[in-house]
Structure 1
Amino acid sequence: MTVSLQNLPSPAGEGYELEEAFAESEEARELLRKQREAKQRTNLFAGKVFFLAREVPRGMLEFVLRSFGGKVGWEGPHSPLSPADPAITHVIVDRPAPAQGLQSPRGDREFVQPQWVLDCVNNNLIIPADRYAPGKTLPPHLSPFVDNQAEGYTPEYQKEIDAMKRSAEGTEGTAGTQGTQGDDEEGNRGNGETEKPEDVGRFAREIEREEIGEEEKPREAEEEKPVETEELEKLEKQEEKKAKKEEEEKERRLLMAKKKHQRIYRQLEQEEKKKEKRVKELKSKAEKAKKGK
């Protein structure tokens, strides 16, 4: 016996169901969701008919377009479509202006450069074609293999595409709070305040506790008592000495740690510095690109 999940509606014509025994399993529900996403992705270009101009790399584009549900024709022998076929929805060209023979009498075709196909596939979204028109300067190519959150920097064009995806999925309302929080974080990054991960500090504390065999304990708030000025100065000096001594003790413990731990700790520090430098370079490059427009 099977039971359908009401909160995960199946696409039309698709019998996505779970066995009753697995209906409440989070892992099974996640697997079902991924299966549906994969099905949706393979139909990204469904209902669209592409015609490849002579100068574009036919083999690669034909493979990608067909893999995601599109129909393809090309300039040359054995093409299933002629340039005048009224079914053509997109013409892919790689020159400033398309040839006259590729124009539609009705003017209902979109002309795009090859990068449009790859950007659509990488983001699982049909991106508006106006920025990819023949002769236009293309937007920056966004690699699908870069984790922007881990890098601490999200390109402006990626933010635009993410907004398009939220709009297309109808989740702008439910994601309003998250969007506001994301905007605040991006604003802070724009002001040069890059959030630093806590991995390095946490790792250092773990090393210290491991070496001395102690656990971190919360400090109890000390009751404040009225004191005279001289006593206050004396207490401040004592606190300074205590803080200095604690810092020296921390350094001593770190030096006493195993060499392996020291090496890993230093590597983490170096990686963080490299990441910060890379983020600054990307932001500087983006600013120069804006001024150059």
Structure 2
Amino acid sequence: MHIKKKFESGAATNYITRGRALKKLQLSLKDFRRLCILKGVYPHEPLHKKKVNKGSTENRVYYYAKDINFLASEPIIRKFREYKIFLRKLTTAKAKRDEERIKTLYENRPEYQLDHIVKERYPTFESALRDLDDALCLLFAFAVLPHTKIITSSLVASSRRLTAEFNHYIIESNSLNKVFVSIKGIYYEAEVMGERVTWIVGHDRGMGHVSEVDFSVMATFAEFYVTMLEFVNFRLYQSVGLFYPPKLAFKSDKLEDDDQAEEGRVYSLACPLSKFENYEEQIDASIGDEVDNVLNEKLCDVEKRKQLFANYRFWLNREVPKDVLAIIIRSCGGLVSWENCPAAQYYENDAQITHQIVDRPLLDSHKNISRCYVQPQWVFDSFNRRSCLSIKKYLPGAILPPHLSPFSSDYDTYEEQLNQLRLLSKASANVTNRMETEAENKVQERKKIQKEKEVPIINVNKGRMHKENLQKKLNEKGHELKLREMLIPKKRRRVYSKIKRGIKRRVHEEKKLNEKRLKMLKAAD
């Protein structure tokens, strides 16, 4: 009869420690982490640590054994080893000061592609769209970071290029739904081929040195998301009939026709992109009657967005954020330009400009009568409300109304409640004034009546001294407190004792501070 040995089946064989995984794959910890991030393998916490760790309770990092077996067949591991050999050869060449050898090594250094991993992790396009939120948040952050040893210039350039391409798709497809400006950054929501995608973009400001973040891990994620977003952008551009890589719809004669100038014009978001000649928007005809009403509502909403700023031309001042305003205005059919815009279609002195967006008070001498001057919040609020709001509340230097979040479900009801509260506050102010005047009149009438009714009557009663026993009162309070403390459950007594200790400590600190203050006052006198 075969005797079943301990720790040779079940949970003990399902998991593997990180140390054993490193030995099996023959990788360093740094390369192992990179490989796990690229392949989407994460550590797991077993339910019974003792069983997995053969009776030991030592804290360790565990992975599924099947995940490590899955990683063992990855061809990128070979590239990691080749790169390690390349570094070894490079250090030898640098020590010998062999410049030609260093040059040839750099030219032939090993590089790996992540295309097969993207296809493996996202077998369908819908699965890639579901994971697009994290990719956009990270790449928009990397697009504004300074170059370092870890964050290479090529990674920052790729992040900037891909995010600009995605912004162009959002504009051309009119898929932007909501925008909200907060302290953390600007939140966007767009409906991309039926999937709701939400991401955040930081405000335009200088990025200093950040020491609390492990950029090596983030750079690996960004490297993977760059490859993923290239696939996604290509598919999205094909779906709306745009060329990929993007091409501008027209070329300006004032700008040089080189690659760098073309790239700058694409980044600016002020110029439309060119489409295929025979492209027609495809509409799915196989729609049931049940979803017909929902589809009509969505189509009406899209049409409202398209025509919101259709007849308007905007000029952006230096101090306002360019990208977010350009995305919103162009998504709603408007034209936008600003100073030193690479793809400018008009300039500040153009008579056809209808709105100028400013974020600081303007002198009357600098104002143009033929255009409206508004603050940037007017664009955000008008877009979220799907109608051009009155500009009276958004004039330069005016106190702006509250910028409500369109992401909350009760956005409309909250706005109605604010209006009701404003009306109630005005009404309550009038009511309180009336009540105060009525109360004053009543008090004066009572005083008059009392003076008339007063009769000089002298009554003297023998008084008695009444002394309160303060010690008795303190004893009673202490006794009541002890009784209440006895009723506290056992599991809450420790918390209660901590609270009491905290109160005593605060009182003691206040006493010390007061004594110190009195000493300083005496010394000053």
Q: TM-score range by the shorter chain?
A: 0.3 to 0.5
Q: Could you state the TM-score of these two structures normalised by the residue count of structure 2?
A: 0.24
Q: Could you state the TM-score of these two structures normalised by the residue count of structure 1?
A: 0.42
